[in-house]
A and B are shown apart, each in its own frame.
Chain A
Amino acid sequence: MMIREAYTTVIAQAETWKGDVATEPYEAAWAGEAVFFLRVFKKGKGSLRGARVRVQISPDGMHWADEGSALRIPADQDEVTFCRVTNFGHYLRLAATLPKGAECQVLATLSLKA
């Protein structure tokens, strides 16, 4: 039996997000499906109301387009949010826009499967 390859990478390890931020490009041409998970480690300053976290895709890791999927930043530290994507081509990342003055520390995970 051929087991489906899978790989999970933590694309934001307790990173503080504020303003416009994006995770580092991750190559995933081998994968057919992906799930992004998002946790909040520390609630920082300001209200996260209106914060947007988008999935972005790219053919080269340098030029990015919104894929259309989005995540909500969890409201509390025990919550995890997620979104599923397929047919993403080559590179994946998360791009976030937080309201002015707001910040939070996040753990973002990307789970890939062939």
Chain B
Amino acid sequence: MDPIQRAIQRADPRLSKFDPLPRILFFDNFNDGMSGWNVLMGNYTESLDRRLPEYKLMTAPMLSNVTHWDGGTHGALDGSYAMKIATRPIRLAQTVALKRLTFPKACPIQLECYFTFKPEASELKLSELDVRSIGFIFDVQDQTHRVLPQIRYLNAMDGKPAHRWQYKDKCVPFSDMGEKTVSVFHYGEEYWEDIPGGEQRLCYNEIPTKINWHYLKLGWDLRTMRYTTLQCNDHVFDIAHLGGIEIKAMPNLWNLLNVILSVGTDLDKRAFAYFDSILLSGDWE
């Protein structure tokens, strides 16, 4: 990014907290609507019943002003509203929200956002180990491969603190959904590996109804199909040697670029993740 462009970006209070690549594909602060983020429908043919069971648990994102029973409206980071995703109150249930694009040119891309997560405040106790994970995922395809770079912050597992970043580069087999359609639930608990040096303690605060925003940056290079960067607040992780889930290119997904955010619960209680704002940038001419 040249100095003039950087100075203009830094002078904009909405963008100054980000570190984008030269071109911004989207910037969503959720004060003007959902901006194309939507629920993940599991693949099916003939009947919605054919969806894989994990996808049947998915719920739609919401515009939230982060209101709690005890303190009222908390508000978002930028303006009143953030995007909220919520699991059902079922142990290990997950929900994702995603935005669907195609990439105009194979180039480095970068997701940045401010996020926070909390369990539903249904108990008058700290509850800091109730949210299992929050995930950041790309789903991309070039002329030969579909690749799913998949990162998560594992907050807790089976009631015990985990507090570390993980990746996965393998997934369970695809299932036949009939006709020409297949499906796979690649968000499951299988095949997660710790990112070397990936330990990090985030700011949970002192009761379930106080939230603090965290910065995240995840970079991926569509030319090499490898990570470029992972940063959360002041922690920068070396993940350039890691890959994503890689499978043979699929019909009808050419130049796919989906950006996906997930949250999972560790017990029979709703887990919430909030995002404000979200910025996707790229570096191409």
- Known contacts A14-B49, A62-B122, A29 near B65 by CB under 8 Å: yes
How distant is the Cα of A60 from the Cα of B88 in the complex, in angstroms?
Answer: 16
How distant is the Cα of A14 from the Cα of B32 in the complex, in angstroms?
Answer: 30
How distant is the Cα of A11 from the Cα of B61 in the complex, in angstroms?
Answer: 11
Number of A-B contacts (CB under 8 A): 52
Pick from A11, A14, A60, A63: contact of B68, CB below 8 A.
A60
A75 within 8 A of B: no
Quick check: B62 and A62 within 8 Å, CB to CB? no
Interface size on B, residues (CB 8 A): 25
B60 within 8 A of A: yes
Q: Would you give the shortest CB distance from A27 to chain B, in whole angstroms? A: 4
Quick check: A5 and B48 within 8 Å, CB to CB? no
Chain B residues 129-173 with CB under 8 Å of chain A are none
Quick check: B60 and A60 within 8 Å, CB to CB? no
B196 within 8 A of A: no
Pick from A7, A14, A27, A29: contact of B33, CB below 8 A.
A7
How distant is the Cα of A5 from the Cα of B120 in the complex, in angstroms?
Answer: 27
A61 within 8 A of B: yes
Q: Would you give the shortest CB distance from A39 to chain B, in whole angstroms? A: 12
Quick check: B68 and A27 within 8 Å, CB to CB? no
> Which residues on the B side are within 8 Å of A62 (C-beta)?
69, 120-122
Question: Taking beta carbons and an 8 Å cutoff, which residues of A are in contact with B?
Answer: 5, 7, 9-11, 13-14, 24-30, 41, 59-63, 90
- 22 residue pairs A–B, Cβ–Cβ below 8 Å: A5-B32, A7-B63, A9-B60, A9-B62, A10-B39, A10-B60, A13-B41, A14-B56, A26-B62, A27-B64, A27-B65, A29-B67, A30-B63, A30-B65, A41-B48, A59-B67, A60-B68, A60-B69, A62-B69, A62-B121, A62-B122, A63-B69
- Closest 7 A/B residue pairs (Cβ): A60-B69, A14-B48, A9-B60, A27-B62, A5-B33, A27-B64, A24-B59
Question: Taking beta carbons and an 8 Å cutoff, which residues of B are in contact with A?
Answer: 32-34, 39, 41, 47-49, 56, 59-60, 62-65, 67-69, 81, 84, 86, 88, 120-122
